[in-house]
Structure 1
């Protein structure tokens, strides 16, 4: 049996020496460095989430909200609500949250996009910040996609087709809030 292990040892030694002659240490260090930097940067890249939505607007949210005769521009559970002029995602008002707060078990995204929306009640424009709520799978209720004055993807702060949970611990998107930042 010792002749067999010495045969394996010689074959392994020859193979290792051949690899060492063909590839230097710098080559190995370069490849390891590229892999480490590439692996660290990849999760920080934004990705397009527009393809996951099959419809442009949500069907209305059922239940007690459907029984009300509130106009859609005044109902925060409807895609036509005035604050949602640049909205893309599931309404947190239909997913256990509110216009300004994320549902329990989720956290607000650290980055967001903005829109300028006209309030029909007072005729003024307001700057609205849209914050994704992260940490749970997609809510699946009240999907809205409004693209009023949306900018192309290279203008990230005004682009709504990006998963803005990318800066959070969990990049899972659940729903989106609509927070008035101030008058425009």
Structure 2
């Protein structure tokens, strides 16, 4: 093909496009494109869960890797979770001690005393809520061992403990070891 043939073809296509297209129709087409692009985030998408999964969608155990801290940290039966009420941060992108990215740990907590099966000792556990992002909806646990009536709020897990943070929106709960419980 020679250059003159390409020039004539390009000119003919450009003139036909200019004859059949107005500025209003071009703006309408661009508006439809922008609106369609805005709808993409609301389309149904399979979002992966933060907790590791094996074949068949079953959650794999999440051990601590420490013989002195036995159990599955993504299971309600984990020894530290004896007084927890909420979604486990280990299933939401965090760990047993750290909030998921984008959330903030509440400075206000409730406490519990749980027995570690590895050494038979009781430990004081601080249950902190992670706040700022809506609930993750994974691994809901409601264990009320040692729960006290609401007249003792520091030992009750039924409150929203996200007070004192930038946002009072609850995401998940941590179980941080504070120390060894003393004998009575």
Q: How far apart are 1:66 and its partner, in Å? A: 3.2
Which 5+ residue runs of structure 1 have no aligned equivalent? 1-60
Cross-structure match for 2:157: 160
Q: How far apart are 1:62 and its partner, in Å? A: 6.4
Q: How far apart are 1:68 and its partner, in Å? A: 4.6
Normalising by structure 1, what TM-score?
0.63
Q: Which has the higher helix share?
A: 1
Equivalent residues in 2 for 1:79-98, closer than 5 Å: 79-98=76-95
In the alignment, the residues of structure 1 paired with residue 98 and residue 107 of structure 2 have an alpha-carbon distance, to the nearest angstrom, of 14
Cross-structure match for 2:96: 99
Equivalent residues in 2 for 1:2-151, closer than 5 Å: 63-64=53-54, 66-68=59-61, 74-151=71-148
In the alignment, the residues of structure 1 paired with residue 76 and residue 111 of structure 2 have an alpha-carbon distance, to the nearest angstrom, of 17
Aligned length, in residue pairs: 122
State the Cα RMSD in Å.
1.8
Normalising by structure 2, what TM-score?
0.63
Task: Compare CA radii of gyration and give the structure with the larger one.
Answer: 2
In the alignment, the residues of structure 2 paired with residue 111 and residue 67 of structure 1 have an alpha-carbon distance, to the nearest angstrom, of 32
Name the structure, 1 or 2, with higher relative contact order (CA <8 Å, separation 6+).
1
In the alignment, the residues of structure 2 paired with residue 183 and residue 69 of structure 1 have an alpha-carbon distance, to the nearest angstrom, of 24
Which 5+ residue runs of structure 2 have no aligned equivalent? 1-50, 64-69
